[in-house]
Amino acid sequence: MSDVQLTIDGAAASVPEGATILEACRAEGRDQPTLCYLETLTPVNTCRVCVVQVAGSRTLVPSCSRVVEEGMEISTDSPAVRQTRKMVFEFLASSVDMSLVEDQTQQWMDHYEVDPTRFGPAAPDSPAGARDARHAGHHAPPLAGLTETVAQPVKIDNELYVRDYAKCILCYKCVEACGPDAQNTFAIQVAGRGFDARISTEFDVALTDSACVYCGNCIGVCPTGALMFRSEYELRAAELWREDEQSVTRTVCSFCGVGCNLELHVQDNRIVKVTSPIDHSVTSGHLCIKGRFGYEYVQELGDLATTPIDIVLAAARTS
Amino acid sequence: MSVETSDAERAAVDELLGAPDSGWVGGDRSAADHHIARGGVRQAAGVRHLLLPALQAAQGAIGWVSPGALNYISERLSVPPAEAYAVATFYALLATEERPRRVAHVCEDVSCRTRGGRELFEELRERDDVVASPCLGQCDRSPAVLMQRAGEYDASLWYSTPESVVDVLEGAEPIDPNPGHFGIPQTEAGSDGLRLLHRVGAIDPYSLDDYRTAHGYAALSKALEMTPTELIEEVKRSGIKGRGGAAFPMGVKWEAVVAQGSDPVLVCNADEAEPGTFKDRGIMEGDPFSLVEAMTIAGYAIGAHRGYLYIRGEYPRAARHVASALEVARNAGLLGDDILQSGFGFDIEIRMGGGAYICGEETALFNSIEGFRGEPRQKPPYPAEAGLFGLPTAINNVETLINLPLIVLEGGEAYAARGTPESTGIKLFCLSGDVVNPGVYEVEFGATIRELIELAGGPLDDIAAVLLGGVSGSFVGTDQLDLPLTFEATREAGVALGTAVVMPFSSSTDFDDVTKRIAAFFRDESCGQCVPCRVGTVRQEEALYRLFDGPPTTTGEIGLLTEIDEAMKLGSICGLGHTAGSAIQSAIALGLIGADR
């Protein structure tokens, strides 16, 4: 494949044909903010924080999906790009709880001097189920001077993970991971329309009544902490979650012969979360229920150095 | 979810899909089913496009999409229930909560609002079978109501009163107060010299003989004697540009489709949902064969054998008339495998929208037909490269297409002699609001706003401003009344022709109320996919309320509204977001709102 010649912020660059603008920018050392983009998922172009200016285009274009063309003149830091990104972040931060976004995202928000309070104080939270019951094409008028948000109670309907849609920016990543990009389970989709769009099972039934297989791949791709291990959620609620004290140990899942790599997040000598490296050739960051949640038996074993092996094995078999 | 499906729901879905052929797709389990697996991903992908029609069929049976119906449809089409639910909840006309068998959708949008629609809705709003509706495209018949009726055809009610609406809700047959009326005052006055609308109201829309007597199907015969290339050349010579809002040259669009080289498809966009727009409705209701003929010619020109006609769900009468015309044309050999013994095969399928303005956006329309949520796609690729089902697709508006027979019959050059060099030919305008005779008016390109208002009997009162191009267009002041409504003149004036809405507002208009309604419209109709539009339309409505009623924010509401508009314009995926702030910005610029704050 031949290379394409273009300019990024005035500097000439040569990038492989078929690359996206985002890939081109990153190859040239000019990182861009992203929210709905992930290397392992199909770009959905929905968050619009990665937009850039392309000479000749009336509107800004999403760098995550737009493929480079010969002679493209790309600006990643023009006034229009800066202002639009700032507004998009402000739209999100004024409507969604973004307190658990990745550090990088927070840095971008600081970079663009994001001030979500400009739109006025937040309206009261929606009661449980209220947002799920909204009908497309209808909404109540704004409450005097208040700013509508997606705030609502956390959904807890199973032992393994929680869904805190007050933190959902609707990036579609969980839908893609549950669907054709990873798990092919299709337990969730975006339902409703406009600001009332939400991630939902059919008729908003509990996950335990849905097609969910608890692989947790939706948690793995969620960029805002809306989807979270129950263990993490409860530790956070008890103000015991201490990420900086956690160690991460990479190992191979012992449940079958596929060879998925696991990252065990350990705090106070307990496993509190399991992830998989996104660049691992076997998993691309995805796991199944056993690898993701089947770690309890490890904690039942006691000290491996002093426990006889038959006790270790017996405990493993019964867990 | 374990749920029951009623016989009525099952029968309605089976009527559309046929009976299930195995236990794998919702039928009774047989011994063979335990040994032979049927279906699979390939088959599921092939029937996904039936999802919206199936949901509509189920709702048509009992008045809403119940869990049982959704479950059965999911089985029949191998669609995950969560996906079927996601599609069902995207459309305003589908209900996933139990509703009465008859539901009245009362138009409270900008046009009906000034003609009693608001009061009508206020009078009825406490009823559980009455909901507010965005523009129903019946602006010449205000106040308008769409009556959804389980087990029967939906019906449009015109010149509605609380009593007439309640009567129908309680079981009365809807009465057509003016059966031959299609919103075309020019033909009702017996006006000669019309080239596009001359048959509307003058012939029986069910009669092929009538249509033929009025020179119908002469163009198709002539077109079939030309080569497709000659036909496209003729269209290019005519200079005709798309009438749906984007003003793209039709011939150039078709060439791009043909250049793709593989099996193309034709789509006619009749999802006419821009508030104040009802021209396509008049054509489909009053002269449906002209659209069938035009689509057939278009199909021949681009080499398509399939055409889809996507009609908005709020147009039940237009859909009935076109469906009848399709059947009659098929029986007469004017559609099918060998049209007029030419060897050319073409047929047309109607798809009904579900109550979503966004589906008028071409790529959202494709997703809607394909059985997905009507979310626009990021372009490129453009429809000519990868459109409906990923095929090269020519998508044209109804009004654009019905110019085609005229272009074929008189030649592209003669057609181009009308209008102006950049805006050739004939144009339909939708006059509503504060005019004496609201309706669709046909003129040659070049008529001014003032001339059009005069054509519609003049203003009802002193005009304060005119909404041009619909709510995605802009308000213009009285100093612009002599603006010729051509593509070039409107572009130069910084306004958009859009869908050719001309809606005058009198000086007694409450523009605070009108702009609030426009903001509410976009907040309702945003698909929610991209952040600038999903949240921007909410923030815009809130800022507008604060502008009128306080309390102010530190940035100031006018400044905030401008920033929101810019972000939607630059950052959104599609035209809905790009234009969602346009009318409000123009109202501020003209001092119609916010001047004294």
- B355 and A169 within 8 Å at the Cβ level: the answer is no
pLDDT at B500: 97
- Residue B15's domain spans which residues? 7-88
Q: Which residue has the tokens 């095969």?
A: B345
Q: Are residues B251 and B365 in the same domain?
A: yes
pLDDT at A306: 76
Is residue B441 in some structural domain?
Answer: yes
Q: CATH number of the domain at B271, please.
A: 3.40.50.11540
Asked if residue B31 has pLDDT above 60, the reply is yes
User: What whole-number distance in Å separates Cα of residue B589 and Cα of residue B591?
Assistant: 5
Tell me the residue length of chain B.
597
Q: CATH number of the domain at B482, please.
A: 3.10.20.600
In this predicted model, what pLDDT tens digit does every residue of B261-307 receive, in sequence order? 889 999 999 999 999 999 999 999 999 999 999 999 999 999 999 99
| pLDDT classification of B2: cutoffs 50, 70, 90 | low
Establish if B70 touches chain A: CB-CB under 8 angstroms. yes
Q: Which residues of B touch A195 (CB under 8 A)?
A: 523, 526, 528, 534-535, 537-538
Q: Are residues B292 and B354 in the same domain?
A: yes
pLDDT at B597: 43
Q: Looking at B368, B399, B415, which one is the last position of a domain?
A: B415
Superfamily of domain A242-319: ADC-like domains (2.20.25.90)
- A88 and B532 within 8 Å at the Cβ level: the answer is yes
Task: Tell me how many domains chain B contains.
Answer: 5
Q: Looking at B397, B415, B433, which one is the last position of a domain?
A: B415
| pLDDT classification of B596: cutoffs 50, 70, 90 | low
Q: List Cα–Cα distances, B45 to A177, A186, B12, B310, B453, in angstroms.
A: 19, 14, 22, 20, 50
Mean pLDDT calculated for residue range B375-403: 97
Q: Which residues of A touch B546 (CB under 8 A)?
A: 120, 145
Q: Which residues of A touch B531 (CB under 8 A)?
A: 46-49, 88, 91-92, 169-170
Question: Could you count the other beta carbons within 10 Å of the beta carbon of residue A73?
Answer: 14
Domain ranges of chain A: 3-80, 242-319
pLDDT at A319: 52
User: Which residue from A minimizes the CA distance to B516?
Assistant: A141
Which three-class secondary structure state does DSSP give residue B170? coil
Is residue B347 in some structural domain?
Answer: yes
User: Which residue from B minimizes the CA distance to A170?
Assistant: B529
User: What whole-number distance in Å separates Cα of residue A87 and Cα of residue A294?
Assistant: 42
Mean pLDDT calculated for residue range B450-471: 96
In this predicted model, what pLDDT tens digit does every residue of B231-245 receive, in sequence order? 999 999 999 999 988
In this predicted model, what pLDDT tens digit does every residue of B568-591 receive, in sequence order? 999 999 999 999 999 999 999 999
Is residue B174 in some structural domain?
Answer: no
Q: Are residues B497 and B569 in the same domain?
A: no
Is B51 in contact with B65 (CB distance < 8 Å)? no
Is residue B486 in some structural domain?
Answer: yes
Q: Are residues B440 and B495 in the same domain?
A: yes
Of A170-174, A270-274, B52-56, B403-407, the range with the lowest mean pLDDT is A270-274
Q: Are residues B365 and B482 in the same domain?
A: no
Asked if residue B1 has pLDDT above 60, the reply is no
Query: Which burial class, exposed, middle or buried, applies to B421 when counting CB atoms under 10 A from its CB (0-12, 13-18, 19+)?
Result: exposed
Q: Which residues of B touch A92 (CB under 8 A)?
A: 531, 535
CATH code assigned to A3-80: 3.10.20.740
pLDDT at B179: 75
pLDDT at A162: 98
Confidence check on the interface: ipTM exceeds 0.85, yes or no: yes
Q: How confident is the prediction for chain B on average, in pLDDT?
A: 95
Q: Are residues B355 and B244 in the same domain?
A: yes
pLDDT at B245: 87
User: Which residue from B minimizes the CA distance to A202?
Assistant: B82
Q: Are residues B379 and B429 in the same domain?
A: no
Q: Are residues B141 and B244 in the same domain?
A: no
Q: What are the DSSP calls for B482-499, one per residue?
A: T-B-SHHHHHHTT---TT
Query: Rounded to the nearest 5 degrees, what angle is found at the Cα of A206, between the Cα atoms of A205 and A210?
Result: 75
pLDDT at B347: 98
Maximum CA extent, chain B: 78
Q: Are residues B558 and B426 in the same domain?
A: no
Asked if residue B63 has pLDDT above 50, the reply is yes
Establish if B48 touches chain A: CB-CB under 8 angstroms. no
Phi then psi for A194, rounded to 5 degrees? 60, -140
Q: Looking at B37, B55, B88, which one is the last position of a domain?
A: B88
Total-model pTM: 0.96
In this predicted model, what pLDDT tens digit does every residue of B136-148 receive, in sequence order? 999 999 999 999 9
In this predicted model, what pLDDT tens digit does every residue of B165-201 receive, in sequence order? 999 999 999 987 777 778 888 887 776 789 999 999 9
Q: Are residues B407 and B449 in the same domain?
A: no
Q: List Cα–Cα distances, B395 to B254, B267, B496, in angstroms.
A: 9, 5, 21
User: What whole-number distance in Å separates Cα of residue A168 and Cα of residue B552?
Assistant: 28
- A194 and B551 within 8 Å at the Cβ level: the answer is no
Residue ranges in chain A whose pLDDT is less than 70: 1, 301-304, 312, 315-319
